[in-house]
């Protein structure tokens, strides 16, 4: 009898301890005791007015993870948009977002999106409002609909990421939520916080939750085969990715013989400028738990640019393979540490490269001190590059101050070059105004490009930007909110030479019916271009005026539109004109098409000809077009077609020499030329299980430069489709054990 009474007393506890069923129903009794958030305000347009829809979010902390339940009010009068979308492309649908800062210190956040069609996006957030969807996590989600709206459930396991250890039963985190309605283009965010504001991540709502820990060990072996149809060769590969999280404040990721190519293709680029093109990294190892290494600096600099790892070989023999890579993240008593290491094949034989990055930071009361060390060994070039950096981030009410000092040490072939850099960034938010002040210095010999990305050294930069949010528009106005931005930027080299000073004014208007427009004008003052000749002289550049405008619609029926146009002075006295048009057509919820065309025309295109101080001045027609097809017949099965074409048709070339800061005509002619770049990728992906996939990919493309122009644009396109520098079939399977 006593045992029976004990069982009856324990039964409610057993029921309460049962894991939530993530089915989009919110019918478990646990949700009754959840914390509720319902103060949603309009942030797109950014009016700050209370939402007319009774949307609520419930939050629970469970042993399995953080659980969120949305009760989304969307009446019948609002058409519902629910196209099936590939992962990280849910932005064409009605959707909800959860943002979590697990440490509650405003340093790093995670974004989880679920659409009405149960499509998902996930990504990371640093530096207040710098988003990336490169990261993919394993979490649960479900959606169900009613006549008056829909429900969304999410469960975010504690094993998703490393987080600082907290003593006691409770943990202080920060959260944010929003809801997006495609039919009207409206977004409603908790407490009216918008990602367009300079203070976003640090403005999330602090909450206390019961904390739990989860240990985790996953192995992801892979096998792949590549059939090269041009070289008539077969390549077989196998490797494994390992993920170990013994406790909440430590995790390790390792990859042995990783396969980093073929599945995701880069956009085509033909660039004649002196600045290296930046490409984002889509490789899973370098997106997983990468937040400590996302270190940016003014002028688009990145201290750790992971595309260097496994990039071009130093001996010029193509792309490098990677033998192994290792990453660990941890924390102790407010101190966070992280390590990233990677070793290319043949490093032991002095042909590959070795990369090592060490990162540490201490956070307390919203303030942070950090240190970073990068070391790159390139034995083939007899080069060793080391960069040290110390950074800080502090806030006081509406004022935020960030900065960093850096030193690079380069030893190459018996010679040493050391130099320094530093930057300071101040943000001040006051009512409807935002102010940003930026100071930056990069020494002439400062170099972080062995593992980082730096557009240029020998730069001193001052910038000031002010933004004003106009939230009050007449009730009969088509515009709901407007943002005005005023910016001034001044650049000098270490010798005081004026490089590029710019004044700009920008207006962004958001329509009440959805969609937005952007208008911008900027003026470049007379200055000097010390990069255009690649070290063979400085060009005295004239003043230049540029105009830009764009309009983006919300979804109207089965269509969504974007139209942009700009005019920019270039060359010696000319101007280019460009339009960009994008149309997206939703054939059905499972199939959508996207077409982009962007022609550019100029009579005065000036380019360096590849040697000394020689330049060519051309009349140019530039074409870029992209076509995407996405088809998701059933959940977990995805077919995607991606076509890209880039072409340049240059004619009436004239020869110039850079002498004493001026471009002087020689009277000679330069031959016409045409450039064609074409890429095609047909990819099928089948999700075997979360983060376990089968890929079948066909890709083809090529590049050609000739002195014979095509017969107009259609002639160039016809030539492009015949290009076949690469023609490959790639099959890869990756499965979690």
Q: Is 11 exposed, middle or buried (0-12, 13-18, 19+ CB in 10 A)?
A: exposed
Res. 479 pLDDT band, cuts 50 70 90: very high
Alpha-carbon torsion, ordered 391, 393, 394, 397, to 10 deg: 160
Judgement on whether residues 169 and 231 belong to the same structural domain of the protein: no
Q: Could you tell me whether strands 170-181 and 186-190 are parallel, antiparallel, or unpaired per DSSP bridges?
A: antiparallel
Query: Cα–Cα distance between 607 and 619 in angstroms, integer?
Result: 11
Closest CA to 187 of 464, 421, 514: 514
What tokens appear for 187 in the block?
A: 């977004």
Can you list the pairs that 359-364 forms with residues at least 24 positions away whose Cβ atoms lie under 8 Å?
359/292, 359/293, 359/295, 360/335, 360/336, 361/107, 361/292, 361/335, 361/336, 361/391, 362/334, 362/335, 362/336, 363/103, 363/105, 363/107, 363/164, 363/334, 363/336, 364/334
CA distances from 264 to 137, 267, 679 (A): 18, 10, 12
Q: What is the CA radius of gyration of the chain?
A: 27
Q: Could you tell me whether strands 335-344 and 354-364 are parallel, antiparallel, or unpaired per DSSP bridges?
A: antiparallel
Q: What is the pLDDT of residues 120-169, one digit of tens each?
A: 999 899 888 888 887 888 899 999 999 889 999 999 999 888 888 788 88
Instruction: Provide the 10 A C-beta neighbour count for residue 474.
Output: 7
Judgement on whether residues 187 and 230 belong to the same structural domain of the protein: no
The per-residue pLDDT for 549 is: 97
Query: Cα–Cα distance between 542 and 290 in angstroms, integer?
Result: 42
Q: State the total domains in the chain.
A: 2
Q: What are phi and psi of 293, to 5 degrees?
A: -100, 5
Angle value at C-alpha 111, between 293 and 590, nearest 5 degrees: 120
The per-residue pLDDT for 712 is: 58
The mean predicted confidence, pLDDT, of the chain is: 89
Query: Cα–Cα distance between 52 and 38 in angstroms, integer?
Result: 11
Which residue do the tokens 């909440």 mark?
A: 248
Handedness of CA 91, 93, 96, 102 (dihedral sign): negative
Q: Going by C-beta distance under 8 Å and a sequence separation of 6 or more, which residues neighbour residue 674? A: 647, 648, 649, 650, 705, 706, 707, 708, 709, 710, 716
Which residue do the tokens 């072409």 mark?
A: 647
Asked if residue 342 belongs to a domain, the reply is no
Residue 513 Cα to chain centre, angstroms: 28
Closest CA to 528 of 560, 493, 487, 494: 493
**How many helices, marked H, and strands, marked E, lie in the chain?**
2, 43
HEC string of 126-172 equals ECCCEEECCCCCCCEEEEEECCCEEEEEEEEEHHHCCCCCCCCCEEE
Can you list the pairs that 366-374 forms with residues at least 24 positions away whose Cβ atoms lie under 8 Å?
366/105, 366/106, 366/202, 366/394, 366/395, 367/392, 367/393, 367/394, 367/395, 368/105, 368/107, 368/392, 368/393, 368/394, 372/295, 372/303, 374/303, 374/304, 374/448, 374/450, 374/451, 374/452
Q: Is 644 exposed, middle or buried (0-12, 13-18, 19+ CB in 10 A)?
A: buried
Handedness of CA 307, 313, 318, 324 (dihedral sign): negative
Contact 89, 594 (CB under 8 A): no
Q: What is the pLDDT of residues 564-584, one digit of tens each?
A: 999 999 999 999 999 999 999
Q: What is the pLDDT of residues 622-655, one digit of tens each?
A: 999 999 999 999 888 999 999 999 999 999 999 9
Q: Going by C-beta distance under 8 Å and a sequence separation of 6 or more, which residues neighbour residue 158? A: 64, 65, 66, 212, 213, 214, 248
Residues 304-321 as b or e (16 or more Cβ within 10 Å = b): bbbbbbbeebbeeeeebb
Contact 452, 297 (CB under 8 A): no
The per-residue pLDDT for 131 is: 85
Judgement on whether residues 156 and 231 belong to the same structural domain of the protein: no
Judgement on whether residues 231 and 143 belong to the same structural domain of the protein: no
Judgement on whether residues 177 and 231 belong to the same structural domain of the protein: no
Asked if residue 384 belongs to a domain, the reply is no
Q: What is the pLDDT of residues 516-538, one digit of tens each?
A: 999 999 999 999 999 999 999 99
Asked if residue 590 belongs to a domain, the reply is yes
Query: Cα–Cα distance between 445 and 456 in angstroms, integer?
Result: 10
What tokens appear for 73 in the block?
A: 């009010």
The per-residue pLDDT for 367 is: 85
Q: What is the pLDDT of residues 171-198, one digit of tens each?
A: 999 999 999 998 888 999 999 998 888 8
Q: Going by C-beta distance under 8 Å and a sequence separation of 6 or more, which residues neighbour residue 279? A: 266, 307
Res. 259 pLDDT band, cuts 50 70 90: low
Closest CA to 128 of 201, 51, 234, 177: 201
Mean local confidence (pLDDT), 600-621: 95
Contact 469, 429 (CB under 8 A): no
Contact 139, 116 (CB under 8 A): no
DSSP string covering 279-333: -----GGGTTT-GGG--EETTTEES--GGGTT-B-TTSSSBPPEEEEEEEEEEET
Asked if residue 485 belongs to a domain, the reply is no
Closest CA to 101 of 111, 113, 91: 111
Asked if residue 136 belongs to a domain, the reply is yes
Asked if residue 50 belongs to a domain, the reply is yes
Closest CA to 647 of 631, 626, 664, 670: 626
Res. 711 pLDDT band, cuts 50 70 90: low
DSSP string covering 353-384: -EEEEEEEEEEETTEEEEEEEEEEEEGGGTEE
Q: Is residue 605 scored above 90 in pLDDT?
A: yes
Strands (E), 182-270: 186-190, 205-210, 216-228, 233-247, 250-256
Judgement on whether residues 74 and 202 belong to the same structural domain of the protein: yes
Query: Cα–Cα distance between 302 and 452 in angstroms, integer?
Result: 5
CA distances from 68 to 122, 189, 430, 707 (A): 15, 16, 33, 61
Judgement on whether residues 151 and 230 belong to the same structural domain of the protein: no
Closest CA to 566 of 544, 591, 590: 544
Which residue do the tokens 């960009």 mark?
A: 580
The per-residue pLDDT for 261 is: 55
Containing structural domain, residue 106: 20-210
Instruction: Provide the 10 A C-beta neighbour count for residue 665.
Output: 12
What tokens appear for 95 in the block?
A: 């959707």
The residues that bridge with 560 in the sheet, in sequence order, are: 584
Judgement on whether residues 228 and 85 belong to the same structural domain of the protein: no
Asked if residue 69 belongs to a domain, the reply is yes
CA distances from 19 to 12, 351, 499 (A): 14, 53, 62
The per-residue pLDDT for 2 is: 40
Q: What are phi and psi of 6, to 5 degrees?
A: -65, -40
Asked if residue 375 belongs to a domain, the reply is no
Judgement on whether residues 83 and 202 belong to the same structural domain of the protein: yes
State which of 27-36, 126-135, 216-225, 544-553 shows the largest mean pLDDT. 544-553
Query: Cα–Cα distance between 590 and 585 in angstroms, integer?
Result: 12
Angle value at C-alpha 150, between 68 and 632, nearest 5 degrees: 95
% of the chain at pLDDT higher than 70: 96
Higher pLDDT, 376 or 291: 376
Q: Is residue 5 scored above 60 in pLDDT?
A: no
Higher pLDDT, 282 or 220: 220
The residues that bridge with 211 in the sheet, in sequence order, are: none
Mean local confidence (pLDDT), 236-250: 88
Res. 713 pLDDT band, cuts 50 70 90: low
> For residue 29, what is the domain's CATH number?
2.60.40.1190
Judgement on whether residues 143 and 227 belong to the same structural domain of the protein: no
Q: What is the pLDDT of residues 299-321, one digit of tens each?
A: 999 999 999 998 889 988 888 88
Angle value at C-alpha 631, between 628 and 636, nearest 5 degrees: 125
What tokens appear for 74 in the block?
A: 């969307």
Mean local confidence (pLDDT), 485-502: 95
Q: Going by C-beta distance under 8 Å and a sequence separation of 6 or more, which residues neighbour residue 328? A: 250, 251, 252, 253, 338, 339
Judgement on whether residues 114 and 227 belong to the same structural domain of the protein: no
The per-residue pLDDT for 210 is: 92
The model carries a pTM of 0.86
Q: What is the pLDDT of residues 405-458, one digit of tens each?
A: 999 999 998 899 999 999 999 999 888 899 999 999 999 999 999 999 999 999
The per-residue pLDDT for 15 is: 38
Judgement on whether residues 228 and 139 belong to the same structural domain of the protein: no
């Amino acid at each position: 009898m006593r045992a029976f009474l004990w069982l009856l007393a324990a039964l409610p506890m057993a029921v309460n301890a049962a894991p939530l069923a993530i089915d989009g129903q919110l019918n478990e009794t646990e949700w009754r005791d959840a914390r509720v958030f319902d103060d949603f305000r309009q942030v797109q347009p950014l009016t700050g007015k209370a939402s007319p829809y009774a949307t609520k979010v419930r939050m629970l902390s469970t042993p399995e993870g953080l659980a969120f339940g949305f009760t989304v009010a969307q009446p019948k009068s609002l058409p519902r948009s629910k196209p099936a979308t590939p992962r990280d492309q849910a932005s064409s649908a009605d959707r909800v977002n959860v943002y979590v800062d697990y440490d509650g210190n405003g340093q790093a956040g995670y974004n989880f999106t679920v659409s009405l069609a149960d499509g998902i996006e996930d990504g990371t957030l640093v530096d207040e409002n710098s988003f990336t969807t490169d990261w993919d996590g394993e979490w649960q989600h479900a959606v169900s609909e009613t006549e008056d709206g829909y429900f969304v459930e999410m469960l975010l396991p504690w094993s998703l990421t490393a987080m600082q250890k907290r003593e006691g039963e409770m943990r202080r985190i920060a959260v944010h939520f929003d809801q997006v309605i495609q039919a009207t283009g409206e977004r409603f965010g908790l407490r009216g916080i918008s990602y367009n504001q300079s203070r976003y991540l640090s403005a999330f709502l602090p909450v206390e939750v019961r904390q739990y820990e989860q240990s985790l060990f996953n192995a992801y072996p892979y096998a792949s085969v590549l059939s090269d149809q041009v070289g008539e060769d077969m390549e077989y590969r196998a490797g494994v990715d390992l993920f170990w999280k013994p406790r909440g404040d430590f995790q390790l990721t390792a990859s042995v013989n990783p396969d980093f190519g073929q599945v995701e293709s880069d956009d085509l680029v033909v660039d004649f400028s002196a600045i290296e093109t930046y490409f984002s990294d889509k490789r899973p190892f370098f997106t997983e738990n990468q937040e400590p290494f996302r270190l940016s600096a003014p002028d688009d600099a990145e201290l750790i640019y992971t595309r260097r790892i496994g990039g071009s070989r130093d001996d010029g023999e193509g792309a490098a393979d990677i033998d192994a890579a290792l990453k660990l993240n941890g924390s102790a008593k407010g101190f966070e540490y992280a390590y990233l290491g990677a070793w290319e094949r043949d490093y032991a034989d002095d042909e590959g490269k070795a990369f090592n990055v060490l990162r540490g930071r201490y956070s307390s009361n919203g303030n942070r001190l950090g240190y970073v060390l990068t070391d790159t060994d390139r034995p083939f070039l007899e080069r060793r590059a080391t960069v040290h950096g110390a950074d800080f981030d502090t806030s006081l009410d509406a004022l935020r101050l960030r900065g960093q000092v850096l030193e690079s040490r380069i030893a190459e072939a018996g010679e040493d070059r050391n130099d320094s850099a530093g930057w300071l960034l101040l943000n001040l938010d006051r009512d409807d105004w935002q102010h940003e002040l930026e100071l930056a210095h990069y020494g002439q010999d400062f170099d972080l490009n062995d593992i980082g990305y730096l557009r240029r050294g020998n730069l001193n930069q001052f910038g000031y930007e002010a933004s004003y949010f106009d939230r009050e528009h007449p009730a009969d106005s088509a515009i709901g909110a407007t943002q005005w931005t005023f910016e001034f930027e001044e650049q000098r080299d270490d010798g005081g030479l004026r490089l590029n000073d710019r004044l700009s004014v920008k207006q962004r208007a958001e329509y009440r019916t959805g969609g937005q427009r952007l208008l911008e004008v900027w003026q470049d003052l007379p200055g000097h271009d010390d990069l255009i000749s690649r070290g063979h002289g400085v060009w005295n550049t004239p003043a230049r005026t540029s105009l830009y405008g764009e309009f983006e619609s919300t979804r109207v029926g089965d269509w969504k539109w974007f139209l942009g146009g700009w005019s920019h002075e270039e060359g010696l006295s000319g101007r280019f004109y460009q339009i960009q048009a994008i149309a997206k057509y939703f054939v059905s919820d499972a199939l959508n098409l996207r077409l982009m065309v962007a022609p550019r025309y100029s009579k005065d295109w000036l380019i360096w000809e590849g040697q000394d101080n020689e330049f060519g001045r051309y009349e140019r027609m530039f074409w870029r077009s992209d076509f995407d097809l996405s088809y998701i017949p059933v959940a977990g099965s995805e077919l995607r077609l991606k076509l890209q074409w880039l072409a340049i048709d240059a004619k009436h070339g004239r020869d110039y020499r850079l002498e004493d800061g001026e471009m002087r005509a020689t009277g000679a002619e330069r031959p016409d030329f045409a450039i064609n770049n074409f890429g095609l990728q047909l990819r099928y992906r089948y999700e075997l299980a979360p983060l376990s996939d089968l890929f079948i990919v066909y890709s083809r493309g090529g590049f050609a430069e000739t002195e014979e122009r095509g017969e107009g644009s259609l002639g160039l396109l016809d030539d492009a489709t015949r290009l076949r520098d690469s023609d490959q079939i790639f099959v890869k399977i990756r499965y979690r054990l």
